């Protein structure tokens, strides 16, 4: 079933974000904020971008018929830009990151294959309207996370911090 794939991706997302937050706790605040030439400059900038993207997509997903568990995401202020710094330090970022990951897991656990075939209408950050199959949007959501977490693992490696195993195999049943 397709839903098994998205449940696995949600679990992987949660697992990897926990590993990255643990890695980040080994560095100073200054080191987390140091501009390293990454897409979003620093480790904190990249962590924030991941949260910005997740909030924007989860607010869109909250319009999906199977989205009861996402009601609380509607109350989060929508980020103004993709590079917005939602949190300046790890102690502020970590609890919201963990809350979002829990919400993503709960949401994916409720989905069925029929839900994935529905189309979702949304507007991008420039206000352009789209209508796409929900399964494809959810795949993009998880792919985006993996892309930027790859950048984070590189930034940690450059600082001598070993994140450990990062392969999806680490959470596969």
Q: What is the CATH number of domain 2-166?
A: 1.20.120.450
End-to-end CA distance of the chain: 15
Instruction: Give how far Cα 74 sits from Cα of 56, 68, 102, 119, 166, Å.
Output: 10, 11, 16, 20, 31
Token pair of 59, please?
Answer: 């607010």
Identify whether the C-beta of residue 61 lies closer than 8 Å to the C-beta of residue 104: no
What are the boundaries of each domain within the chain? Answer: 2-166
CA dist 170 and 4 (Å) reads: 16
Q: What does the H/E/C string look like for 98-121?
A: HHHHHHHHHHHHHCCHHHHHCEEE
pLDDT tens-digit readout, 10-50: 999 999 999 999 999 999 999 999 999 999 999 999 999 99
Closest CA to 59 of 137, 149, 112: 137
Q: Is the pLDDT of residue 66 over 80?
A: no
Instruction: Give how far Cα 122 sits from Cα of 57, 65, 157, Å.
Output: 9, 14, 37
pTM of the model: 0.94
CA dist 153 and 32 (Å) reads: 13
| pLDDT, position 65 | 82
Catalogue the E-assigned strands of 39-139.
119-123, 129-133
| pLDDT, position 67 | 78
Cβ neighbors of 137 (< 8 A, separation 6 or more) are 57, 60, 61, 120, 122
Out of 44-58, 59-73, 96-110, 139-153, pick the least confident.
59-73
CA dist 26 and 165 (Å) reads: 17
């Amino acid at each position: 079933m397709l839903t098994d794939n998205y449940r696995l991706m949600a679990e992987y997302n949660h697992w990897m974000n926990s590993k990255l937050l643990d890695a980040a706790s080994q560095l100073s605040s200054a080191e987390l904020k140091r501009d390293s030439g990454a897409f979003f400059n620093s480790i904190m900038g990249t962590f924030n971008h991941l949260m910005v993207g997740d909030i924007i997509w989860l607010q869109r997903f909250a319009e999906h018929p199977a989205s009861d568990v996402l009601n609380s995401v509607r109350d989060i202020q929508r980020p103004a830009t993709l590079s917005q710094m939602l949190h300046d330090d790890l102690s502020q970022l970590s609890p919201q990151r963990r809350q979002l990951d829990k919400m993503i897991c709960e949401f994916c656990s409720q989905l069925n294959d029929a839900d994935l075939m529905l189309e979702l209408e949304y507007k991008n950050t420039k206000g352009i309207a789209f209508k796409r199959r929900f399964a494809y949007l959810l795949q993009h959501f998880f792919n985006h996370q993996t892309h930027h977490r790859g950048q984070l693992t590189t930034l940690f490696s450059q600082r001598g911090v070993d994140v450990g195993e990062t392969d999806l195999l680490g959470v596969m049943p």
